[in-house]
Amino acid sequence: MPYDDESTLPTDTAPADALAATAAQARSAVLERLVSEDPGRFRVLTGDRPTGRLHLGHYFGTLHNRVRLQELGVEMFVLVADYQVLTDRDVAEDPAGFVEELVLDQLAAGVDPARAVIFTHSAVPALNQLLLPFLSLVSVAELNRNPTVKEEIAHSRQSSVSGLMFTYPVHQAADILFCKGNLVPVGQDQLPHLEVTRTVARRFNDRYGNGTAVFPEPEALLSKAPLLLGTDGTKMSKSRGNAIALAADADETARLIRGARTDAERHITYDPARRPEVSSLVLLAALCQGRPPQQVAEEIGAAGASGLKKCVTEAVNDHFAPIRARRARYAQDRSYLREILREGNERANAVAETTLDEVRRAMNSRC
């Protein structure tokens, strides 16, 4: 996901990756059309690592898009990737708490638990069991080449790299294929992972499918995620302390925006290349109000940085008021929250067991 703290865009994007990204963009436009024409053809699998509260970058980058797809009528599985948290830390800080916070953020944004299956890795054993046959289908050299994993290792706070770090893209294949997801909304950094999933699906079908496709080859739906910067002008990220949480209240939002970095030019314009900090604030207001950033900048104009901050604060607090209220309502009823997860896990388990049976049958008939 484009705004995730753990996954950053590879800085040394090779020409081949750039080419793949362009191709994925073109394909995504086609997929968008297919989705609106026939949403029933698609099953979306999407997910996040539970590492704390989501912020506005996550909201505009992924949550918003999830809800949009849901409203178009696409079936959706939403994974809380709790095992994936262990790729770069020995123990999750507050596993249960973080899972609940993440689910709250989804529900607040509008993910509907009656339609979407919300579930966690750790509650779906049959999903995890797919990892074993899937691991046999990829080479160590392939695992070693994954640019997103390389980047994560470079930024890891751990002194040694665990086996899970190398193999989690294959685990991610299990995340997607257990429910035969065929559409995965992602940011560019996730494209190499999706390629692993496609490879696993293809090789499984070739080796064990007996002429039929057990798994679909899922496609990436690249998000047109606008890049929101944090209040210090660098990428918005929990770990940098520059993020505005979805769950923040109006006062905290005002305080954070008041402290946001701007520049010395008084007149407000929208010019992301030359004025990244100011433009990101303008963009944030524009996203909240659903209008073009140029228009927002023009209106503020001579009111300068203080006018800009006032406008952004109001825009954020207005837009998020109902979302935050919904979050607070769900947060008050923890037993209902746990019930949502229990039901999601139950549905995910049923699907995973069916798939695992199918995998066993396909494999046994070949050994």
Binding site for ligand TRP (CB under 6 A): 1, 4, 6-7, 45-49, 79, 81, 84, 172, 175-176, 184
Burial tier of 211 (Cβ tally within 10 Å: 0-12, 13-18, 19+): exposed
Nearer to ligand TRP, 176 or 287 (CB): 176
Say how far apart CA 350 and CA 186 lie, in whole Å. 26
Provide the phi-psi class of 110: left if phi over 0, else alpha when psi is between -120 and 50, else beta: left
Facing residues of 45 across strands?
77
In the complex, the smallest distance separating the C-beta of residue 328 from ligand TRP, rounded to whole angstroms, is: 25
Helix (H, G, I), strand (E, B) or coil at 198: helix
In the complex, the smallest distance separating the C-beta of residue 358 from ligand TRP, rounded to whole angstroms, is: 20
Nearer to ligand TRP, 125 or 292 (CB): 125
Residue indicated by tokens 């008041």:
258
Nearer to ligand TRP, 54 or 305 (CB): 54
Nearer to ligand TRP, 245 or 300 (CB): 245
How far is residue 314 from each of residues 81, 242, 247, 280, measured CA to CA in Å?
34, 19, 16, 15
In the complex, the smallest distance separating the C-beta of residue 6 from ligand TRP, rounded to whole angstroms, is: 6
Nearer to ligand TRP, 184 or 305 (CB): 184
In the complex, the smallest distance separating the C-beta of residue 175 from ligand TRP, rounded to whole angstroms, is: 4
Burial pattern 162-197, b for ≥16 Cβ within 10 A else e, equals eeebbbbbbbbbbbbbbbbbbbbbbbbbbbbbbbbb
Residue indicated by tokens 């995890």:
128
In the complex, the smallest distance separating the C-beta of residue 350 from ligand TRP, rounded to whole angstroms, is: 19
